[in-house]
A and B are shown apart, each in its own frame.
Chain A
Amino acid sequence: MSMELIRGGVKKVVGYKKSSLWTQVLHRLMKNKMAMLGFWFLVLILLICIFGPLFSKYANSRVDAAYINQPPSSEHWLGTDKLGRDVFTRLMEAGRISLTVGLGSMILSVTIGTVLGVLAGFYRGIVDQIVMRMADVLMTIPNLPLLFIMTAVMSEWKVPAEYRLYIVMILLSFIGWPGLARLVRSQILSLREREFMQATEALGLRDSRKLFIHLLPNTFPLVIVAGTLNVGGAILSESVLSYFGLGVVPPTASWGNMINSANSLVDFQNRPWLWIPPGLAIFVTVISINLLGDGLRDAIDPKMKSR
């Protein structure tokens, strides 16, 4: 009851200031220290990965046979690998790949999930049945075995190494869309019941107008949050696949396949600089993404605030 009251008060403030929803969200997000920490870390990681290799003299996997398996030094901050490549430079290059896969697969799954979720929620009936049964099927088979099979198919079709990252992206979005579609669908279904949608019904608006002007924008907040968290999940999945040699494969570097060097006993025991940094890179990136996503959720829906 008392919370109702406060919300009532807050609503009025919004009305008075005439500030838009998004300004409000941004304002709340900026006040969330953890979320901002995540955000700035992410910006930092992105900048390092994108521009770092440009300033490195070891870029483009330059091989230096004279410097093989060197431990970290002032010359090679994170040492060199078995081909004499600078690990730090490779880490940044791998970051480009891992982040690309994460972002790309997120965009794909959000697109597929939103389109299918909206269609299912809006047209209901048979469309809904088909979409949701497909989602059920995909959610019934655990992700990992499913991904493994699909990547195996990819290996058998002899996809060139440089294209594999795009295929990994597609595969990750293939298993990523059902969750998003369910989310969007339930949002659309509940929106339909609201008064303003019944008003559009009474006004006899065209379907396309109802969809694009009234329904779709209302799903954006949810989709943005789910999408952000999805990037983290995709980066983790990609790293698992690449670690097992099924995702992005050398010579293209990704954080996952860099950790792969831990599979050799000597490297694992004596050359931790080869596999610990990429693991930490994944950790820091994913934790930053999750903090940002979580902060976004709180900022967008203060009612759901969990912290």
Chain B
Amino acid sequence: MNGYFIKRILYLIPTLIGASVLIFLLYSLVPGDFVDTDPNLTAERKAELKELYGLDQPLVTRYITWLGNLFQGDLGYSMQFQRPVTEVLGNYIWSSFFVALASLIITWLVAIIIGVISATRQYSLFDSIITVLVFAAMATPSFFLGLILIKIFAVDLGWLPAGGMITTGSNYTGWEYIFDIGEHMLLPVLVLTMLSVGGLTRYFRTNMLEVVKQDFVRTARAKGLKEKAVIYKHAFRNAMLPAITLFAFELPALFGGAIITEQIFNYPGIGAIYMQAFTVRDYPLLMGFTMFIALLTVISNLIADIFYGIADPRVRLK
């Protein structure tokens, strides 16, 4: 078993190196950089800054320096914030993380419950309605959904704030503060949830339908077990197993999705920071963020594999 995981970890190295090369190459392809785009600088000052940031070095040297720093946990130095990228990310990641986490939990709860129920009642009215809703959720562009929600709930009805994370100029404390943040988080969480809930519900439903057809479910029925035990003890566990690997993709994808929601809701998280960095071409921050998400994906994958190994006896003992 240990051999299996060591192999898995070794396997990740070329993927990560590949990702870093791709990210670096893409950013270095962009003509013009932070220094070039600033019209207030003299040519002399530009050259100085370029030397300072190592921008005058050949591509390969720059890559190796960048990668070397990366290994030491140094994602670079944000030109826009004049602080290390890790620090900037560290400042903004938590507000994004809470939104992502909340939507992750809601998505999974809703998807599992609805997916399983609609699978056990295949062909029923409930099942048909769910199927239609799932298709609708999968076909809605998330930014459009966000806009519609703001229009309805913030502009027209005035129930919820249109954006931000806290009410500007407020100085709430204690529960009021938490409630205020919650109010601001509601719509972004809703949009992020809609983004992934459709596909996931569908996934659970299909899985469950597949498992229910298996021979061992028939055996469970032949034992005279209650339908509940057949579904939840025998079928459900087997249907949930492959979902563990899916869990890994979700969190990084939600950080990716945060770019859209945070932009729309003007929510101060890393997605919004990413877009800001984008407009001023703050490459170290952009590269750091992208590399960070790639790393997150790879690590979550590894964790998922480990969990899967623990959960599935067939893998566990190999």
- When C-beta atoms are compared, the residue in chain B nearest to A38 turns out to be B135
Flag if A142 contacts B18 (CB, 8 Å).
no
Residues B290 and A149 in contact, CB atoms below 8 Å apart: yes
B23 to chain A, nearest CB (A): 7
- What DSSP secondary structure best describes chain B's contact surface? helix
Asked whether, in the complex, the Cβ of B135 is within 8 Å of the Cβ of A141, the reply is no
Residues of A within 8 A of B16 (CB): 140
Query: Is residue A250 contacting chain B, with contact meaning CB distance below 8 A?
Result: no
Number of residue pairs across A and B with beta carbons under 8 Å? 127
Closest A residue to B281 by beta carbon equals A152
What mask results when residues 135 to 171 of chain B are scored 1 for a CB within 8 Å of chain A, else 0?
1101111111001100100010000000000000000
Contact among A3, A140, A148 with B15 in the assembled complex (CB-CB below 8 Å): A140
In chain A, what residue has the closest Cβ to B17?
A: A137
- The one of B26, B255, B297 that contacts A150, using a Cβ cutoff of 8 Å: B26
- Whether A143 contacts B256 by the Cβ 8 Å rule is yes
Q: A141-B23, A287-B135 are in contact. Are A134 and B297 (CB under 8 A)?
A: no
A275 contacts the other chain (Cβ, under 8 Å)? yes
Which of A141, A149, A152, A275 has a CB less than 8 Å from the CB of B293? A141
Please tell me the number of chain B residues within 8 Å of chain A, measured between CB atoms: 54
Q: Nearest Cβ in chain B — how far from A93, in angstroms?
A: 19
Docked complex: B1-55 residues within 8 A CB-CB of A: 14-16, 18-19, 22-23, 26-27, 29-32
Given contacts A149-B27, A152-B30, A283-B140, contact A275 B135 (CB under 8 A): no
Interface string of A38-76 (1 = CB under 8 A from B): 000000000000000000000000000000000000000
Measured in the bound complex, the distance between the Cα atoms of B252 and A146 in whole Å is: 13
Complex Cα distance, B248 from A140, in Å, reads: 11
Q: A141-B23, A145-B290 are in contact. Are A134 and B18 (CB under 8 A)?
A: yes
User: Taking A134-B18, A153-B30, A243-B143 as contacts, is the C-beta distance between A306 and B209 under 8 angstroms?
Assistant: yes
Q: Which of A117-144 contact B (CB under 8 A)?
A: 133-134, 136-138, 140-144
Would you call A279 an interface residue if the criterion is a C-beta within 8 Å of the partner chain's C-beta atoms? yes
Q: Are B260 and A240 in contact (CB under 8 A)?
A: yes
Q: Which residues of A contact B31 (CB under 8 A)?
A: 156-157
- In the assembled complex, the Cα of A180 lies from the Cα of B57 at a distance in Å of 39
Which one, B138, B147, B289, contacts A290 given CB within 8 A? Answer: B138
A1, A239, A284, A287: residue with the most chain B Cβ atoms closer than 10 Å: A287
Is A159's CB within 8 Å of the partner chain B?
no
Contact among B143, B151, B274, B294 with A141 in the assembled complex (CB-CB below 8 Å):
B294
Contacts of B138 in A (CB 8 A): 286-287, 290
CB contact list, A287-302 vs B, under 8 A: 287, 290-291, 294
Answer yes or no: B259 CB below 8 A from chain A CBs.
Answer: yes
Least CB separation from B258: chain A residue: A144
B256 touches A145 (CB 8 A): yes
Look across to chain B and name the residue whose beta carbon is closest to the beta carbon of A236. B141
Contact A133 B155 (CB under 8 A): no
Q: Of B18, B139, B253, B286, which contacts A287 at CB under 8 A?
A: B139
Q: Among residues 258 to 304 in chain B, which have CB atoms less than 8 Å away from a CB atom of chain A?
A: 259-260, 263, 274-275, 278, 281, 286, 289-290, 293-294, 297-298
A138 neighbours in B (Cβ, 8 Å): 22
- Contact indicator A146/B290 (Cβ below 8 Å): yes
**Contact-residue bracket for chain A:** 35 or more
- Write out, one digit per residue, whether chain B residues 109-130 have a CB within 8 A of any chain A CB (1) or not (0): 0000000000000100000000
Contact present for B278 and A148 (CB under 8 Å): yes
Distance between Cα atoms of A256 and B293 in the complex (Å): 26
Contact partners of B281 in chain A: CB under 8 A: 152
In the bound complex, what is the Cα–Cα distance between A213 and B136 (angstroms)? 39
Answer yes or no: B131 CB below 8 A from chain A CBs.
yes
Docked-complex contact A145 and B139, CB < 8 angstroms? no
Query: Nearest CB to that of A237 among chain B residues?
Result: B141
Most buried by B among A136, A239, A272, A282: A136
Select B147's contact among A1, A137, A144, A262, beta carbons within 8 Å: A262
Q: Which residues of B contact A287 (CB under 8 A)?
A: 135-136, 138-139
A264 close to B (CB within 8 Å): no
- Among B140, B275, B281, find the residue whose CB has the most chain A CB atoms closer than 10 A: B140
A70-98 CB contacts (< 8 Å) to partner B = none
* Residue positions of A touching B, CB distance < 8 A: 1, 3, 133-134, 136-138, 140-146, 148-150, 152-153, 156-157, 232, 236, 239-240, 243-244, 256, 259, 262, 268-269, 272, 275-276, 279, 282-284, 286-287, 290-291, 294, 306-307
**Other A-B pairs, 11, CB within 8 Å; known A142-B256, A156-B31:** A1-B218, A140-B15, A141-B23, A142-B255, A148-B278, A152-B30, A153-B29, A153-B30, A236-B141, A259-B141, A279-B148
The 30 sampled A-B contact pairs (Cβ below 8 Å) are A3-B213, A133-B15, A137-B15, A137-B18, A140-B15, A141-B22, A141-B293, A142-B252, A143-B256, A144-B257, A144-B260, A145-B256, A145-B274, A145-B289, A146-B290, A149-B27, A150-B26, A152-B278, A156-B32, A236-B139, A239-B144, A259-B141, A262-B147, A279-B144, A283-B139, A287-B139, A294-B135, A306-B202, A306-B206, A306-B209
